[in-house]
Amino acid sequence: MTDKPNSRRNPLVRPNPISGFPEYSPEVCLELHQRLQAVAKLFASHGYTPIQTPIVERLEILQAKGGDVDKEIYTLGRAAQSDGTDAELALRYDLTVPLARYVAAHFGEITFPFKRSHIGDCWRGERPQDGRYRQFKQADIDVISINTLPLSFDADIPLIANEAIRTMGVTDHVFRVSNRKILSGALSALNVAKPQAVTRVLDKLEKIGRAEVARLLADNLGVSSTDCDLLLSLAQITSHDTEFTEQVRALNLKHDLLDVGLRELEYVVSRAQASGASEFLVDLSITRGFDYYTGTVYEVQWRSQPHLGSIAAGGRYDDLSSNYIRKRLPGVGMSVGISRIFGKLVQTSAIAPSKKTTTDVLIVWDRASSEKSLQDIARQLRARGQCVEVYHSATKLAKQVQYADRKGIRFVVFPRFNEFKDLRTGDQALFNVETFNQK
């Protein structure tokens, strides 16, 4: 091994993980995988079925959407001269753009409505900070159809997303719902000149406050003070039930689109109430940017972690794949910020990992037993769903038990004595390989 390129005399390379790219130990990983599996099972139990797309997309696909995210896109290059077959590639920054491309690319094979789930990593070159990672996991569900999409999905999606958030371990969140058509209808009813610019200003309500919004609407966009008051009153309507309709009616705005929006939102809220979920709140200030969503919109905040921003969001869009295919493909979907939620639960010790291993049972290796007999015991227990290790050498008993203790393995089997010990309770009992079944 004399010509080994990296001998001990070489200077050491720093092994630290990179800021913004989370790295999880086995104990934390076990907690994450358990939750991810539960979320995947939840999505599956509602018929939302996974697809897999590459983490890499052509840069032109990712940039087609436009907007602020462009400057955060990670592009791919090659450490050495490429063979010239590389397209210009980049890492995806969400799971929605890959879905839009996927639906266009595989249009002919898909049975619509297409209910897809996707739990996967995304990348953005943001400055790492609390709750913001450069590599982050999202759990998305979307449904897409051709030409029209039934309203029932606008209620299904947030109910499932709400369960996913609970499954991740959040207990104190508020699930805000609104419908874009209400504000759009109101702006049309008032004949406001620049509806999109006005919407963008109203979207800042929570951030900059009522007075500043009023000033911007009047000074920059020429909205009359009566209209301004009306719009601000509209945006400040909240309710836990369908009462919001009366509050909107009281503003005396008349427009078909507004009526449609009210009926749609009533349906979504009724379904949420019928399901018994108490986290839902109609909040007409929610707009989620303007160019993308066209109907129901969702935004979830974590009450005890308000600075994290939204931990889940989404809405209905008219035309997801119009960049790639000349079909009208409306959809509705939500994205749950797995990394944002999980990172905070670990950081605040709401999740306190205790097991360093999946192993439930350690079989002690004593010299009196043949290795084959020990492996046979392990095989029988594994066949019954137990996670089992045979200790890796015939060393002192105390050392073997200490290993179990350090790794958080609960049961230790002493084959020679036909006994097992529960390290959690300290209890010792007879071991029978045929009947032993502890978790």
Considering only residues 117 through 156, tell me which ones interact with its own copies, judged by CB under 8 A.
121, 123, 125, 127, 135, 150, 152-153, 156
* Residue at token pair 């978790």: 439
Find the part of the chain contacting its own copies (CB under 8 A) among 185-193, 203-211, 212-220, 318-326: 318-326
Are 117 and 44 a contacting pair, CB within 8 Å? Answer: yes
Please report how close the Cβ of residue 304 comes to its own copies at its closest, in angstroms.
26
Which residues from 205-224 bind its own copies, rule CB under 8 A?
A: none
Q: What is the DSSP string of 189-207?
A: HTT-S-HHHHHHHHTTHHH
Which residues from 59-98 bind its own copies, rule CB under 8 A?
A: 59-66, 70-83, 85-87, 89-91
Which residues from 21-40 bind its own copies, rule CB under 8 A?
A: 21-26, 29-30, 32-33, 40
Are 156 and 83 a contacting pair, CB within 8 Å? Answer: no
The residue from 130, 206, 371, 422 that contacts its own copies (CB under 8 A) is 371
Which pair of tokens denotes residue 291? 């160019």
Are 316 and 268 a contacting pair, CB within 8 Å? Answer: no
Q: Determine, following the binding rule CB under 8 A, whether residue 10 of this chain makes contact with its own copies.
A: yes
Q: Determine, following the binding rule CB under 8 A, whether residue 353 of this chain makes contact with its own copies.
A: no
The residue from 350, 407, 419, 423 that contacts its own copies (CB under 8 A) is 407
Categorise residue 160: left if φ over 0, alpha if ψ from -120 to 50, beta otherwise: alpha
Strands 49-50 and 114-123, bridge-based pairing: parallel
Q: Determine, following the binding rule CB under 8 A, whether residue 200 of this chain makes contact with its own copies.
A: no
The residue from 204, 249, 399, 406 that contacts its own copies (CB under 8 A) is 406
Find residue 50's DSSP bridge partners. 117
* Residue at token pair 């959040």: 170
* Residue at token pair 């911007």: 216
Total residues contacting its own copies (rule CB under 8 A)?
A: 124
Degrees, nearest 5: CA angle 389-390-393: 130
Strand runs labelled E in 207-342: 238-239, 280-283, 296-302, 310-317, 331-337
Q: Determine, following the binding rule CB under 8 A, whether residue 47 of this chain makes contact with its own copies.
A: yes
The residue from 53, 233, 239, 247 that contacts its own copies (CB under 8 A) is 53
The residue from 162, 178, 245, 294 that contacts its own copies (CB under 8 A) is 294
Find the part of the chain contacting its own copies (CB under 8 A) among 17-25, 167-175, 251-259, 420-428: 17-25
The residue from 251, 288, 356, 369 that contacts its own copies (CB under 8 A) is 356
